[in-house]
Amino acid sequence: MSTLPISVPVTETHLPYKGRVAMFTLIAAESAIFTIFVVAYIYYIGQSLSGPTPREVLDLPIFNTIFLLSSSLTIMLAERALVRRAMGNFNLFWGLTILLGAIFLVGTAREWYKLITVDHLTISTNLFGTTYYSLVGLHALHVIVGLILLTAVLIFSLMKALRPEDTKRIEVLALYWHFVDCVWVVVFTVVYVIGR
């Protein structure tokens, strides 16, 4: 193919890892979806005709937030351990990440239980109910998906099936997890700070 004079040098192109590019693209798409739900939430603040209002029924989920955001820290530590091939530490921090994520989900479940049974706020009660459960629920769904994938990786690791080339794949998954945490920062601010 290259029959040009050898004096013409081939331009070096540094091509990024495809998993990383794909994950950023997926994150962009997901961000667009979340943006629409956030916009709906903001637009409908104070617009409900009746029923419970955020101020009346929402408590600041401080602990839940701390747990979830800490999981970003633990996953970062896990990644560092993986790069050093310190698999014991990796398993520890990765497992902690999953645990923290699970605790967050339990916290959300408890909050919803209280909202439904005590405050009688459901998705069909009023505009607040509809937008709240949709937005927080969408986020929780992403946490669940993340936890499933994280658990799969933990199982592979415990089975000693992780190879060096899997490191960058796992970093891509961690990127997803960081995204989920970022979304929570936005949701927390919009729902529990601005919206109340």
Partner 1 sequence: MSESSMPLPGRLPEAAAQGTRADALGNIVEILHDWVTTVDHKKIGILYILYSLTMLVAGGIEILLIRLQLAGPRLNVLSGEVFNRLFTMHGTTMIFFVAMPIFVGFANYLVPLMLGVRDIAFPRLNAFSFWMTAFGGLLLYYSFLGGTGLQGAGTAPDVGWFAYAPLTERAFSRGHSTDFWALALILSGFGSIGGAINFITTAFCLRCKGMTLFRMPLFVWLMVVSSVLVILAVSPLTAAQAMLLIDRYLGGHFFDTQAGGSATMWMHFFWIFGHPEVYVLIMPAFGIASEVIPVFSRKAIFGYPAMVAASVSIAFVSLSVWAHHMFTIGMSAAGNAFFALSTMIVGIPTGIKIFNWLATLWGGKIRFEVPMLFSLAFLFQFLIAGLTGIMLSVAPFNWQLHNSYFVVAHFHYVIVGAILMMVFAGFYYWYPKVTGRMLDDRLGKLHFWLFVIGFHVTFDVMHIPGILGMPRQIYTYEVDRGWGTLNFIVTIGAFIQAIAIIIFVLNLVVSLFKGKIAGPDPWDAWTLEWTTASPPHAYNFDAEPVVYSARPLWDLKHPDDPD
**Positions in the binding site for partner 1 (CB under 8 A):** 1-4, 8, 10-11, 13, 15-18, 21-22, 25-26, 28-30, 32-33, 35-37, 40, 43-44, 47-49, 122-124, 126-127, 130-131, 134
Comparing C-alpha atoms, which of 81, 83, 77 is closest to residue 167? Answer: 83
Least distance from partner 1 to the Cβ atom of residue 37, Å: 6
Compare residues 4 and 159 and give the one whose CB is closer to partner 1: 4
Compare residues 10 and 159 and give the one whose CB is closer to partner 1: 10
Compare residues 126 and 157 and give the one whose CB is closer to partner 1: 126
Q: Which residue type does 101 have?
A: G
Compare residues 89 and 122 and give the one whose CB is closer to partner 1: 122
Least distance from partner 1 to the Cβ atom of residue 39, Å: 8
> Any idea which residue has 């091939």 for tokens?
85
Cβ-based neighbour number of residue 147 at 10 Å: 20
> Any idea which residue has 């005709």 for tokens?
49
Number of H helices, E strands in the chain: 6, 0
> Any idea which residue has 């398993």 for tokens?
91
Structure tokens at 111: 């909050």
Comparing C-alpha atoms, which of 22, 68, 41 is closest to residue 183? Answer: 68
Least distance from partner 1 to the Cβ atom of residue 87, Å: 28
Say if residues 176 and 146 touch (Cβ distance below 8 Å).
yes
Q: Which residue type does 104 have?
A: F
Least distance from partner 1 to the Cβ atom of residue 110, Å: 21
Least distance from partner 1 to the Cβ atom of residue 46, Å: 10
Compare residues 17 and 63 and give the one whose CB is closer to partner 1: 17
